Amino acid sequence: MDFSSKITIYRPYDKQSGKDLNKTFNKSWLATAFESDRGRIIQSAAIRRLQQKTQVFPLESNSAVRSRLTHSLEVQQTGRHIVRTIFSKLKDEAATFGLQDLEREVESLVEMSCLMHDIGNPPFGHFGEAAINDWFQSFLKDNPNFKNTTDPILSAELKRELESFEGNAQAFRLIFSLLRLNLTYTQAASILKYTRCGTEPKPSQDNPLNYLKKKVGFYYSERLHIEDMSEHLGIEKGHRFPLAYLMEAADDISYCLADIEDGVEKGLLSCEQLKQMLIDEFAEIVNDWQLDVDETFLTTRKAGYTVSFAQAVDYALSRANKEPINKTHEFFVWLRVQLIHPLVEHAADNFIDNIESVYHGSLNRALLEDKSLFHAIIKTFKNVAVKKIFSSAEVEMKELQGYRVISQLLVAYQPLLDLSTSEFGKLVSGERIKNLIASRLYSRLPNKHVRAYLESINSIQESSNLNLLEFYYRCRLIQDNISGMTDQFALEEYQNLYPS
């Protein structure tokens, strides 16, 4: 088990960079390479767009409510905290696992994977994903492009994938195909949360990798990049890269608190109501899972001083009641002070306790999903968010509006998918066609998406399934266009195409 063999400077479009490193490990090259990754990521358009995609409340004007960008910054900080905690616990034992002198490099990799983890999300979050999938399921149901084919198996697989749009997979499409960030394979692999290609069916519950494959992790269009990355980093098929577990844990810790804080900020419930809901929900989960309800397991910064979950929530409310100006802020500050540290400690302990399966990427669960009291905390916040935030009339209305916007944008762009392969080829080559609506819609497509489409088409010219694959990449082009929009731009495009 040697983590240093998985932390390399190899990039997909710079093959020479990995050759010397495979012969001689040079730490200074790592620092330079990962600093370059950091710059490429932070300066990318995908990160900038996160500031106009909201976390819970679509099209929210209240700047105190989180955007995808501010959420990702919080996840980034938590990821950094987890890495530092792991190295603090390992101390000299880090050398046993090939991690000696790599704390800064691992910290940078996890920070950047946390910052990137949501870049593939479409406008309006999960309802945007649902709108894309529902529309394509209907549109492709009897589509002749998937019926009149010489390869019915590939046709069925590609159809399945196009009906399974997933933000995690779109993130890899952005990295490799649309933005061509040319990140080190080590950095890119750190965000591979799920390991199933979109052409594969969802695994059964008895599959030993059912958690790792429960969602689509990458598309057919990026499969060769994933294969190359996995081969170089020694990742077995269906397995994860070890640092992805840390990114996932940081996200779990961050958003379970953040979503509820946004709900309180919006006035959906008070701190007093939230306190009781949290205590009741936690008690119910502890009872269902038959955990030790009396255990005081949350260790504060004062050594030897422990509190129960209920005591921690009570204390946060008592501090808030003493605050004369911003009670909500004070409540969540002290909730974080008491909860984040022990959750980070538990994630770090789980990483170390399961380090062999984590190293091989075969641990078939999240670090914090272990039916422990810490897992119960995460579950408590998620359950309360579902019951009181996501089910609120305001959020549901915004989600329905977002669903309609995305659905109608796809209807508007459908004429581009109704063209034959030869007609669309003429359009791409600059020739005039009779369908003026399709011509006008084509001119609205982002140039980088069109160039990515053309590169894909050039790579399949010798294929016996040319028409099938061309239509697949054309559907990808439309999904790239819609999913790349911000919430506000999607609404404006909808209003432009459907003026009232």
**92-124 confidence digits (pLDDT tens):** 999 999 999 999 999 999 999 999 999 999 999
| Positive or negative torsion for Cα 431, 436, 440, 445 | negative
Per residue in 167-223, pLDDT (tens digit) is: 999 999 999 999 999 999 999 999 999 999 999 999 999 999 999 999 999 999 999
- pLDDT-wise least confident of 53-57, 92-96, 142-146, 324-328: 53-57
- pLDDT-wise least confident of 287-296, 332-341, 483-492: 287-296
Q: What is the pLDDT of residue 412?
A: 97
Q: What is the pLDDT of residue 292?
A: 81
Q: What is the pLDDT of residue 57?
A: 62
Q: Is the pLDDT of residue 25 over 60?
A: no
- How confident is residue 21, by pLDDT bands cut at 50, 70 and 90? very low
Give the distance, in angstroms, between the CA of residue 170 and the centroid of all CA atoms in the same chain: 9
> Catalytic residue numbers?
71, 117-118, 251, 440
- Over the chain, what HEC string results? CCHHHHCCCCECCECHHHHHHHHCCCHHHHHHHHHHHHHHHHCCHHHHHHHHCECCCCCCCCCCCCEHHHHHHHHHHHHHHHHHHHHHHHHHHHHHHCCCCCHHHHHHHHHHHHHHCCCCCCCCHHHHHHHHHHHHHHHCCCCHHHCCCCCHHHHHHHHHHHCCCCHHHHHHHHHHHHCCCCCCHHHHHCCCCCCEECCCCCCCCCCCCCCCCCCEEECHHHHHHHHHHHHHHCCCCCCCCCCHHHHHHHHHHHHHHHHHHHHHHCCCCCHHHHHHHHHHHHHHHHHHCCCCCCCCCEECCCCCCEECHHHHHHHHHHHHHHCCCCHHHHHHHHHHHHHHHHHHHHHHHHHHHCHHHHHHCCCCCCCCCCCCHHHHHHHHHHHHHHHHHCCCHHHHHHHHHHHHHHHHHHHHHHHHHHCCHHHHHHHHHCCCCCCHHHHHHHCCCCHHHHHHHHHHHHCCCCCCCHHHHHHHHHHHHHHHHHHCCCHHHHHHHHHHHCCC
Q: What is the pLDDT of residue 55?
A: 65
Query: ∠ CA(362), CA(364), CA(369), 5° rounding?
Result: 135
N-to-C CA span, the chain: 62
User: What's the whole-number average pLDDT of the chain?
Assistant: 91
Q: Residue 109 carries which side chain, given as an amino acid letter?
A: L
Domains in the chain and their CATH numbers?
3-121+166-244 (1.10.3210.10), 269-391 (no CATH)
Q: What is the pLDDT of residue 301?
A: 53
Q: What is the pLDDT of residue 444?
A: 96
Q: What is the pLDDT of residue 337?
A: 87
Q: What is the pLDDT of residue 6?
A: 95
Is residue 190 a contact partner of residue 233, using CB atoms and an 8 Å limit? Answer: no
Q: Counting every residue, how long is the chain? A: 500
Per residue in 282-326, pLDDT (tens digit) is: 999 999 999 987 667 776 554 556 888 999 999 999 999 999 888
Neighbouring-strand partners of residue 298: 307
- pLDDT-wise least confident of 51-60, 209-218, 421-430, 475-484: 51-60
Q: Is the pLDDT of residue 166 over 90?
A: yes
Q: What is the pLDDT of residue 307?
A: 83
Among residues 324, 293, 327, which one has the least CA distance to residue 309? 293
